């Protein structure tokens, strides 16, 4: 007699299944192709010249156009979902995310995560799982390293909670840790006209705010195609049969979708910020759904020289994304709370030619 089919399938981990220090090797290795890059570009429309043109990238010192940093992030993130967040209620935030090596088409990525924190919620129905995930290429080099925390359902509300620990995570990535994901570039060969912006590192001042002006309306098919591109299997993004009975009554858009939309919109004002060097922290303030139109604005909150680098500098950027709310007046807070239109608050470092 054959075994019941339920023993063959993976129900995903629930909160009580995790243990501090647990190491998880994730399936499935993924070779990034030019087709993946083209599909990502078609879904989000990023226009940064270094990632768009092999001749442009080669002229400043890359062997060819690198894969968009956020595509790398999403693919590695997607590897972790079946083991970490298949039963998630919500992805809550990120910290200490560093891009450590350029990725080019043809590179194969895999991921490993370590459970670094656990905390049961007071309702006993869910808990917060903190993990540090690393993406590696086929040579074993780390290309990305980040922490995130996610709210995960419990299988059994009466199950005892695992050992509790809330990890201390850095509030930001120090400038001395930046730049490993960017080779030394030839600044004199960097063509501002072809790049689409005349503004370089020294043109920006701490405290200045930039309205990225444009808006992008999210379509139902687009966000599902994007999430499948990353092999992200979280049910809340796909299964309308189930989600129609859930708290939103519809599929929730993967939070990384808002990040990529905001990054693409930021080209208008930050066109020479060609490389995301690190993500200091991020918060998905409110859910995003198909039919919503995303707008964004940014503030320069710090600038930094990079150790032993005279070719590029780093700007620390805080980008705020909204839904159905243009950003000419830089919406952020309403009293002590976020403006109701805000969906994303992202703090990150970008590299820009001097």
Chain position carrying tokens 């599909």: 39
**In this structure, which topology does domain 11-353 adopt according to CATH?**
Thiol Ester Dehydrase; Chain A (3.10.129)
Q: pLDDT class for 244, splitting at 50, 70, 90? A: confident
Over pLDDT 70: what percentage of the chain? Answer: 98
User: What's the burial of 290, exposed, middle or buried (CB within 10 Å: 0-12/13-18/19+)?
Assistant: middle
CA 238, CA 256: separation in Å to the nearest integer?
15
Instruction: Read off φ and ψ for residue 209, nearest 5 degrees.
Output: -115, 145
Return all residues near 95 (Cβ < 8 A) that are at least 6 apart.
Answer: 146, 147, 148, 169, 170, 171, 279, 280, 281
Look at residue 229 in the predicted model and tell me its pLDDT: 94
pLDDT at residue 160 tops 60: yes
CA 332, CA 208: separation in Å to the nearest integer?
15
Return all residues near 65 (Cβ < 8 A) that are at least 6 apart.
Answer: 50, 51, 52, 53, 54, 56, 57, 104
CA 35, CA 243: separation in Å to the nearest integer?
31
Look at residue 89 in the predicted model and tell me its pLDDT: 84
CA 236, CA 253: separation in Å to the nearest integer?
8
* Helix extents (H) in the chain: 34-44, 49-52, 54-60, 69-84, 192-195, 220-229, 240-243, 255-265
C-alpha distance from residue 124 to each of 129, 235, 264 (Å): 14, 22, 39
ω into residue 28 within 30 of 0, thus cis? Answer: yes
Look at residue 185 in the predicted model and tell me its pLDDT: 95
Q: pLDDT class for 284, splitting at 50, 70, 90? A: very high
Look at residue 338 in the predicted model and tell me its pLDDT: 96
CA 60, CA 62: separation in Å to the nearest integer?
6
pLDDT (tens digit per residue) in 203-242:
999 999 999 999 999 999 999 999 999 998 887 788 778 8
Look at residue 329 in the predicted model and tell me its pLDDT: 97
Note whether 313 and 296 are within 8 A (CB): no
pLDDT at residue 3 tops 60: no
CA 133, CA 97: separation in Å to the nearest integer?
9
pLDDT at residue 72 tops 80: yes
pLDDT at residue 65 tops 90: yes
């Amino acid at each position: 007699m054959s075994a019941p089919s339920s023993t063959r399938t993976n129900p995903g981990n629930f909160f009580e299944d995790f243990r501090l220090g647990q190491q998880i090797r994730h399936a499935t290795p993924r070779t990034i192709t030019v087709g993946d890059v083209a599909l990502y570009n078609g879904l989000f429309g990023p226009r940064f010249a270094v990632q768009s043109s092999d001749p442009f990238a080669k002229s400043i010192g890359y062997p060819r156009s690198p894969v968009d940093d956020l595509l790398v992030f999403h693919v590695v993130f997607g590897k972790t979902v079946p083991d970490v967040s298949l039963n998630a209620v919500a992805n809550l935030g990120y910290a200490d995310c560093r891009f450590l090596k350029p990725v080019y088409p043809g590179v194969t990525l895999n991921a490993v995560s370590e459970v670094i924190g656990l905390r049961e919620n007071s309702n006993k129905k869910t808990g917060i799982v903190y993990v540090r995930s690393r993406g590696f290429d086929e040579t074993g080099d780390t290309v990305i390293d980040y922490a995130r925390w996610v709210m995960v359902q419990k299988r059994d509300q009466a199950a005892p909670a695992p050992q509790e620990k809330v990890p201390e995570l850095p509030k930001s990535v120090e400038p001395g840790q930046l730049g490993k994901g960017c080779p030394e570039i030839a600044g004199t060969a960097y063509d501002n006209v072809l790049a689409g912006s005349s503004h370089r590192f020294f043109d920006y001042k701490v405290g200045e705010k930039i309205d990225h002006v444009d808006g992008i309306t999210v379509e139902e098919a687009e966000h599902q195609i994007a999430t499948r591109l990353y092999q992200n299997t979280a049910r809340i993004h796909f299964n309308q049969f189930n989600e129609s009975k859930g708290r939103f009554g519809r599929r929730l858009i993967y939070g990384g979708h808002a990040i990529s939309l905001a990054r693409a919109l930021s080209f208008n004002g930050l066109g020479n910020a060609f490389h995301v060097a690190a993500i200091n922290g991020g918060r998905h303030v409110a859910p995003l759904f198909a039919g919503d139109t995303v707008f964004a604005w940014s503030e320069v909150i710090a600038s930094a020289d990079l150790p032993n680098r005279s070719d590029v500098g780093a700007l620390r950027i805080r980008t705020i994304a909204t839904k159905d709310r243009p950003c000419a007046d830089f919406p952020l807070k309403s009293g002590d709370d976020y403006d109701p239109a805000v969906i994303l608050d992202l703090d990150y470092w970008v590299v820009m030619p001097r």
